[in-house]
């Protein structure tokens, strides 16, 4: 076997199973039925969530404490390199397996689920699929099974959804690139060991001048800002990164100069699958919370589950979750801009609606930090922002819908 991670997961029957990789859509066929491998991943992460995440999630959130111990255990299980090749210390799973894992983890601790999603979809997958042999040796193997965390630095103070407006510059200087600029909202930037950085080699070319680089976060000239105080997913971290005359070798360039925009968009297509699965997990946790409370709470002489208004809310929650889950599964098996945008758009909005229903069902207790409903509410709101705001997702769906029908 390729790694200790695989040996650990062999106890769960994963190593003996075969699965097709679904990195690119190959047919229009789609099934909501999980394969034997995907079910094994689901079962493994569900057990992990029940044992390690749920009991600690509330305190991690309340204290804003990074989940170091759970991340270490996920590394041991191999999930920090879920879809990376076995040659690079990964498990070689498909995207749907990773999405299922993220959903189950987010059901227990939204912060842990998001950390895993960003690390895999935006960092590990990029290096695994686009990196050179040397880049994989330096920037991948220790990130799949060595406990290191990878980051993705795209957004800037003046460039979020408008990626073409990136101001960070990359200047050629002999055998080196020199990077200068500031990146914002870098998830796991406080704890990370390396990051993907997008910079412009020629601002006049806008998106056609962008390039993608791999940058160690301990490189001279890299300064991490203070941890942001977040409304939701408070156990995760986000910070600014300042790059001041950061010199990196020429071979840290991923792809070619001018390919940065295309690389960024392709990774975001993947990441939106992860955030959609993350949103579904949060929504499912909210439904679980609401049902468990409604079964025990008595009002007007009967359990809340017997009140038509509460039953209607629970039904709506179930429908919202299942529709989001189906779109997410499809996007994971047929990755495209339109599919991932639809999944993220629906899953994010639905998660917020489901969490709102949960708070309403719990009433006053829904507002108390002694109950998880308010945490799910805060966590759900962020899924409509990070990874691409819902407004942009809706525009993407509309654009590709008209393009498919030759109506632009």
Instruction: Return the SS3 of 95.
Output: helix
pLDDT for residue 4: 43
Are 337 and 396 in contact by the 8 Å Cβ rule? The answer is yes
pLDDT in tens, 234-258: 999 999 999 999 999 999 999 999 9
The CATH superfamily label for domain 262-404 reads Butyryl-CoA Dehydrogenase, subunit A, domain 3 (1.20.140.10)
pLDDT for residue 158: 87
Tell me the DSSP string of 280-340: HHHHHHHHHHHHHHHHH-EETTEEGGGSHHHHHHHHHHHHHHHHHHHHHHHHHHS--HHHH
Q: In angstroms, rounded to a whole number, what is the distance separating the alpha carbons of residues 106 and 243?
A: 32
In this structure, of 2-6, 214-218, 363-367, the range with the lowest mean pLDDT score is: 2-6
Instruction: Return the SS3 of 144.
Output: helix
Are 52 and 70 in contact by the 8 Å Cβ rule? The answer is yes
Q: Which of the four pLDDT bands, split at 50, 70 and 90, describes residue 408? A: confident
Q: What is the fold, at CATH topology level, of the domain defined by 4-144?
A: Butyryl-Coa Dehydrogenase, subunit A; domain 1 (1.10.540)
Q: In angstroms, rounded to a whole number, what is the distance separating the alpha carbons of residues 73 and 123?
A: 19
> What secondary structure letter does DSSP report for 252?
G
Same fold for the pair 4-144 and 150-258: no
Are 179 and 222 in contact by the 8 Å Cβ rule? The answer is no
> What secondary structure letter does DSSP report for 64?
T
Instruction: Return the SS3 of 248.
Output: strand
pLDDT in tens, 111-131: 999 999 999 999 999 999 999
Burial (CB count <10 Å: 0-12, 13-18, 19+), residue 35? middle
Q: 277-305 as b/e, with b when 16 or more CB fall inside 10 Å?
A: bbbbbbbbbbbebbbebbeebeeeeeebb
pLDDT in tens, 317-326: 999 999 999 9
pLDDT for residue 110: 98
Domain residue extents for the chain:
4-144, 150-258, 262-404
The domain 150-258 having CATH identifier 2.40.50.250: the answer here is no
Closest CA to 276 of 98, 151, 403: 98
pLDDT in tens, 352-395: 999 999 999 999 999 999 999 999 999 999 999 999 999 999 99
């Amino acid at each position: 076997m390729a790694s200790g991670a695989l040996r650990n997961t062999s106890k769960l029957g994963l190593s003996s199973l075969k699965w097709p990789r679904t990195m690119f859509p190959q047919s229009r066929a789609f099934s909501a039925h999980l394969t034997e491998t995907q079910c094994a991943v689901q079962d493994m992460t569900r057990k992990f969530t029940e044992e390690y995440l749920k009991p600690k999630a509330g305190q991690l959130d309340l204290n804003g404490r990074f989940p170091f111990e759970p991340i270490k255990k996920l590394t041991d299980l191999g999930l920090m390199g879920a879809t990376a090749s076995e040659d690079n210390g990964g498990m070689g799973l498909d995207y749907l397996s990773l999405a299922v894992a993220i959903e189950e983890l987010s059901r227990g601790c939204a912060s842990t689920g998001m950390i895993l999603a960003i690390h895999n979809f935006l960092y590990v997958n990029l290096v695994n699929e686009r990196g050179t042999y040397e880049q994989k040796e330096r920037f991948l193997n220790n990130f799949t099974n060595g406990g290191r965390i990878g980051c993705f630095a795209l957004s800037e103070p003046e460039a979020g959804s408008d990626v073409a407006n990136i101001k960070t510059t990359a200047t050629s200087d002999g055998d080196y690139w020199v990077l200068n600029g500031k990146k914002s909202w870098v998830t796991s930037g406080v704890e990370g060991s390396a990051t993907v950085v997008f910079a412009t080699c020629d601002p006049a070319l806008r998106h056609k001048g962008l390039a993608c680089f791999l940058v160690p976060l301990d490189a001279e000239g890299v300064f991490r800002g203070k941890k942001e105080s977040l409304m939701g997913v408070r156990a995760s971290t986000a910070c600014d990164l300042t790059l001041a005359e950061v010199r990196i070798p020429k071979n840290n360039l991923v792809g070619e100069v001018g390919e940065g925009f295309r690389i960024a968009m392709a990774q975001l297509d993947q990441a939106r699958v992860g955030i959609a699965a993350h949103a579904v997990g949060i929504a499912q946790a909210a439904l679980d919370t609401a049902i468990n409370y409604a079964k025990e709470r008595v009002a007007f002489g009967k359990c809340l589950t017997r009140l038509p208004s509460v039953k209607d809310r629970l039904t709506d929650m179930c429908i919202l979750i299942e529709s989001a889950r189906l779109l997410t599964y499809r996007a994971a098996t047929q990755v495209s801009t339109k599919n991932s945008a639809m999944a993220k758009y629906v899953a994010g909005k639905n998660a917020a609606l489901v969490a709102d229903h949960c708070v309403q069902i719990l009433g006053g207790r829904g507002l108390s930090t002694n109950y998880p409903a308010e945490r799910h509410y805060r966590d759900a709101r962020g899924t409509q922002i990070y990874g691409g705001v819902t407004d942009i997702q809706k525009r993407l769906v509309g654009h590709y819908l008209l393009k498919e029908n030759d109506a632009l």
